Chains A and B, each alone.
Chain A
Amino acid sequence: MIKVKINSQEHSWDGDPDLPLLWFLRDEAGLTGTKYGCGQALCGACTVIVDKQAVRACITSVSDVVGREVTTIEGLHPTGDHPVQKAWRQLNVPQCGFCQVGQIMQAAALLIENPKPNHDQIREAMAGNICRCGCYQRIENAVHLASTGV
């Protein structure tokens, strides 16, 4: 039996300890905010924050996060008003929206590490997150907005 802490809540798991965290979150814990996009850490749709770092849940196993604090979009902010979330809404960033949770979690992790990133740093930090609709211009501007005050 494995115990993992997600959004400050403890969850137990007695199945395959190698199960990717992504599928544990989505199918076992019912936290469907985190998305599947590629399964190989190539697109960033499944990004969550483990301790203070952005992590791809699709290549992280459940056992990898034992003793760590996992934050998903459901736990990012109690009312959904994290500066990144607010900036996203202010600039109408999403199109289909499917990748946006991963983008938002990546951006939130970036701001923990670097509260005032410049545009190059934003592009570098966000380059692991693919958006097929092509919202990049707004993503870049929204991260900048979140870092400068929404």
Chain B
Amino acid sequence: MNIHTNPKKLRGFERYVKVDNVSRRSILKGLGLAGGFVLAAPVMSRPALAAYQTGADKMPHGTVVDPRVFVAIAPDGIVTIVAHRAEMGTGVRTSLPMIVAEEMEADWSRVRVQQAHGDEVKFGNQDTDGSRSTRHYLMPMRQIGASARTMLEAAAAKRWGVPATEVKAVNHEVVHGASGRRIGFGDLAADAAKESVPSVEGLRLKDPKDFRYLGKGQISMVDLRDITVGTARYGADVRLPGLKYAVIARPPVTGGKVVSFDGAEAMKVSGVEKVMEVKGWPWPSKFQPLGGVAVIARNTGAAIKGRDALKIVWDDGANGKYDSVAYRAELEEAARKPGLVVRKEGDVEAALKGADKVIVGEYYLPHLAHVAMEPPVAVADVRGDKAEIWAPVQSAGGTREDVAKTLGIPQENVTVNVTLLGGGFGRKSKCDFAIEAALLSKELGAPVKVQWTREDDVRNGFLHTVSVERIEAGLDKSGKVTAWRHRSVAPSIASTFAANTVHQAPFELGMGLVDMPFEIANVQCENPEAAAHARIGWFRSVSNIPRAFAVQSMVAELAHATKRDPKDMLLELIGSPRIVKLDSVKDLWNYGEPYDSYPIDTARLRKVVELVADKGGWGRSVAKGHGLGIAAHRSFVSYIATIVEVAVDDKGKLTVPRVDTAIDCGTYVNPERIQSQIEGAAIMGLSLAKHGAITFKDGKVQQGNFDDFPLLRIDESPAVTNVYIVPPGPDTPPSGVGEPGVPPFAPALINAIFAATGKRIRALPIGKQLEA
């Protein structure tokens, strides 16, 4: 048994283990921004100003704090700010530039946002996942904005021949208070560009009480209008002269390959131009394409019709027997035996033996598919040793590296244009679809769009893992929990990168298993072995989904067993306000953050529970057939608690009249988008709880589209979702928002169903379980 110790390595490619050796000087070479006057000057030093540290600089290529990279000011005063992260609906393309605008005193109505292409040396890390963007970039973006402001002020002071301390940038101009003189940013741009970039240590950041945009929630997404009029450009919307349209038939079993194919019938379809094999990579294939047979046509419809006419003989390979029913039994068996110990405090075995009562909960959560509304799609134009990609990718830098490596050309020769993402949820962190387009374009000598159909997306994706979570809790005579053993068995994401992986990686164990915050004397967490038979990948919230489900269901089960209120039980288990010490955990994964700045703080977890209980009316009387459930979970270093009210009628029909969620995500930028993320998390949580399951038989996914992998629809959605955001303390570091909302939803729902009906659901999805 060998547990992986380097979480970065498990991201699979060298770029995650490569040390950023590039000297600051070489980074600064050849800088230039499109359009306008570029603020320019010498190298700045880079220590942090913040009262907290983040893991930002440990990410590949770290952060770049340089106004010359991110800000340009045109003579007409238009300020262009670069958004270097991917927009998939979280609002980050608006929020990060807004932070810069705030600090530089730019007027938002005169700000334009320019999307960065993939270039992590220039822009810093661009891998938009892990709920990291605001967390890692709030301070760097403030520093960039403050640098630009300082340079503008210095230029104005010089022009007027007054000390810089006497001038101040205010709403897109610099003002000299004593004389009342003022100059607009546009008029100052050329002079400001000659100023040296100030050192970060000397920067004067705005007092938060003077913020106009940050924390206010008054600014809409920059793409809002385009979205409503249909001009917002997603990956699927890229059109080039001479563009060919392709769809690919991929192996139905993970690790399978083409033996032979007959494209004669496909070639007869009107509009089909070519049928060709696409290179695939052996299992485990990392982010590389699965291979298969491509149909090239003059439009997507013809390509799909042509693909339907293909005759392909497949070799299913080693995973041809993968069967979800049998696999579940295997996981359950493994969960009932000891496994690799990944956390140990006290003596859980003895404590369970000596307990007055032992409550056992065994929970099952199936595979899920991301099914972003925009299925994977990419356009590539490869000419000679140069490649240009247009794609909805979460990781533009990673896409550039992987395309370059696959084509065997230097990274500098690859341009990755990031479009809007029609949803991401982790699927578009993997750039296999962009590589497919690049390979086809190279072969055809023409620009190619590869469109995944919904069926491709459901059957050939990178699935959320499948897991059995088994918790045994021992109670003493007074009803106090004295022992807690949690075994988590699930195929690891690491299996997508390394053959024979049987244990979960530290970053998976750290998502709700070993970081369990309860104050219990005897705790043991174990990770029995599980082999993967499908591509496993990051899915929004990742392992937190099964862990929060198990842990928070167990809390309510313990409350029931001891005849206590579930919220009181939850608070008792969370225990005293304290910083949780996890000395027994080797390689503790804290979402990549330093523990000093982002510890597990039970006071904050208690607070969201108390806040949601208060605002959400915990304990209120509800109608017959209704019930309330509560759950709380820390993930992506944020704290969140949810109360769900359900109604279950006598036929077992489930409705959700009300959801209340409290989130503590530290210092925040855009509460309006936090609210929308949490509203959406409730929908995704309800969707996966009610409907979500990808299953395998004979190695093949049994679902294909929204008929057999249904998503929640508006007529099933909660009548209302209320969101309460905990106001941050003065130095509370920012933490995640995109993912933390999902994990507590399903257990809160299930606990509410128990309150309403007395039925305890331990396996998702609910499906027809309430109809019996």
Contact = CB atoms under 8 A, between A and B. Distances in A.
Interface of A: 15-16, 19-20, 22-24, 26-28, 30, 32-40, 42-43, 45, 72-74, 80, 85, 88-89, 92, 94-101, 104, 122-124, 126-140
A73 B713 contact: no
Contacts of B301: 16, 19-20, 22-24, 27
Contacts of A98: 234, 372-374, 420, 422-423
Q: Which 4 pairs show the lowest CB-CB distances between chains A and B?
A: A33-B230, A134-B683, A98-B422, A23-B301
A37 B454 contact: yes
Given A19-B299, A27-B301, A39-B304, A80 B371 contact: no
B463 to A, nearest CB: 16
Given A96-B421, A98-B423, A136 B302 contact: no
A38 B705 contact: yes
B726 interface: no
Given A16-B302, A38-B705, A130-B706, A140 B714 contact: yes
Nearest to A130: B711
Contacts of B88: 96
8 contacts: A32-B233, A33-B231, A42-B707, A92-B220, A126-B715, A129-B713, A130-B713, A134-B681
Interface string B401-443: 0000000000000000000111111000000000000000000
Nearest to A128: B713
Given A40-B707, A96-B374, A73 B230 contact: yes
B229 A80 contact: yes
B297 to A, nearest CB: 9
A95 to B, nearest CB: 3
B712 interface: yes
Contacts of A32: 230, 233, 236-237, 239
Given A45-B373, A73-B230, A133-B423, A35 B236 contact: yes
Given A80-B228, A138-B676, A43 B706 contact: yes
Contacts of B501: none
A104 B421 CA distance: 19
Interface string B239-273: 10000010000000000000000000000011100
Interface in B81-118: 87-91
B325 interface: no
Nearest to B231: A33
B300 A23 contact: yes
B41 interface: no
Contacts of A42: 705-707
B227 interface: yes
Contacts of A131: 373, 683, 714
A74 B230 contact: yes
B625 interface: no
Contacts of B89: 94-97, 133
B717 interface: yes
Contacts of B372: 96, 98, 132
B721 A92 contact: no
Nearest to A119: B719
A72 B225 CA distance: 16
